[in-house]
Amino acid sequence: MKPNLLRAPLIKSAILLIVCSLLVYFTLTSAEGSIWSSIGAIFTLFFRIAQLAIGLAVGLLVCLAVLIGIFLGAVALFDASSASRMYEGLRQTILNWLAPALCLLSSDHEDKLEAELSDLGQSLKNDFSRMIASARQELSAAQSELAAKVSALQGKVQAAEKATEEKVSTEQLEAVTAEVVTVSEALTATEGTVKVLQQKVEEAVKKIGAVDPGAILGDVPARLETLEQQEPAAPVDLQPIEEKIAALQAEIESLQSALKEASTAGATAESADTPAAAAKEENQETVEDSESSEHRLLSYFDNKADQDKLTALVAETLKKDMTYAQVTDFLIKKMGEKGGTIIAEHPSLAKDFIRQCRRNA
């Protein structure tokens, strides 16, 4: 313990002796030789020594920084991760060395700043919490509204699906599909029938074009001219000739009407189910009835009086210049409801009956 007790007085005595020696030295060597100038010189010496120490410390720090930078750069050329780890370790070491000095330099201003920052952070937290609470309320309201709309839409969709299922069932769809298939098949058959009818119409037109009225009439016009030029010595009965001419005209009109019927039948064949079969049956009936002695149209009338009435009405129209359509309308009106219906349902038989009556007249 004694060496420790004597160390401080010895150091103080040594410092005092050095100061006194310097004071004596500067006093003796100065030009003025005053004590105050010696004291000023001593202070100047201490100041210069402090400047030299500070400069040496700064220079040493700069040199160390340059050397450390060169070393870390050289290490980074080979391994950048090792250089970064070394730099981080050096920085932590320097901060540990400077921590006491930084603690000494810290003041109450930092404490006040920290308190203000904490208060500001708390106020910001409160503001953000209020804003977030209002936003959450709006979001919850929007979510509830959207959920209600979605549920309503789902109910509407379910109701629509249920109504659709009730209206349209699978069996109905199958029935509609079958009907569409049958209609398409009927249309295909109708197209074939129309083509056949068109071919028949073309053949009939060719046959009519080949008919020569002059060959049919023969020399009847020439005979009529000679008879007109002769003197009226004796009366000549021209009724048979006129009837033959009327019969020929009726045949020509019947051919024309048959062509018209064939063309109209081709136009209406698309909407009928079996137009070709009906036309064939009527044509066959017409041929068979024309060949038989009693016409087929009369067989549709059960009463003999109706048959005689029909024959008499047709005979009345022979002396009139009437077409087949006009005669048919006349018969439909005069034969009453039942007889008119029979004639309207069999127009081809009616025309053939009129033609037969004109030939037999």
Do 349 and 271 share a structural domain? yes
Do 156 and 38 share a structural domain? no
Residue 177 lies in a domain: no
Length of the chain as a residue count: 361
Expressed in angstroms, the distance from the first to the final Cα of the chain is 180
Residue 44 lies in a domain: yes
Is the per-residue pLDDT at 130 higher than 50?
yes
Residue 213 lies in a domain: yes
Is the per-residue pLDDT at 11 higher than 90?
no
Residue 63 — pLDDT band, cuts 50, 70, 90?
very high
Higher pLDDT, 109 or 315: 315
Residue 51 — pLDDT band, cuts 50, 70, 90?
very high
Residue 124 lies in a domain: yes
Do 119 and 87 share a structural domain? no
Do 335 and 307 share a structural domain? yes
Do 304 and 203 share a structural domain? yes
Domain final residue, candidates 46, 71, 98: 98
Do 209 and 137 share a structural domain? no
pTM of the model: 0.25
pLDDT at 291: 43
pLDDT digits (tens, 9 = 90+) for 216-242: 555 555 666 666 555 444 444 556 666
Is the per-residue pLDDT at 164 higher than 90?
no
Residue 1 lies in a domain: no
Range with lowest mean pLDDT among 36-45, 67-76, 178-187, 252-261? 178-187
Q: Across the chain, what does the average pLDDT equal?
A: 74
Do 265 and 221 share a structural domain? yes
Do 356 and 252 share a structural domain? yes
Q: Is 272 left (phi over 0), alpha (psi -120 to 50) or beta?
A: beta
pLDDT at 275: 47
Question: 322: domain range?
Answer: 184-227+238-360
pLDDT at 70: 92
Higher pLDDT, 280 or 9: 9
pLDDT digits (tens, 9 = 90+) for 303-315: 888 888 888 888 8
Higher pLDDT, 26 or 351: 351
pLDDT at 343: 85
Residue 307 lies in a domain: yes
How many CA atoms lie within 13 Å of 111's alpha carbon, on the beta-carbon side?
5
Do 282 and 329 share a structural domain? yes
Higher pLDDT, 198 or 44: 44
Do 136 and 272 share a structural domain? no
Count of domains for the chain: 3
Residue 315 lies in a domain: yes
Is the per-residue pLDDT at 112 higher than 60?
yes
Question: Among the ranges 48-57, 167-176, 203-212, 305-314, which has the highest mean pLDDT value?
Answer: 48-57
Residue 6 lies in a domain: no
Do 223 and 144 share a structural domain? no
Q: Yes or no: say if 22 and 42 are a contact pair by the CB < 8 Å rule.
A: yes
CA distances from 213 to 38, 210, 291, 303, 310 (A): 172, 10, 24, 41, 31
For tokens 């019969």, name the residue.
Answer: 247
Work out the average pLDDT over 199-226: 62
Do 72 and 47 share a structural domain? yes
- What whole-number distance in Å separates Cα of residue 356 and Cα of residue 359? 5
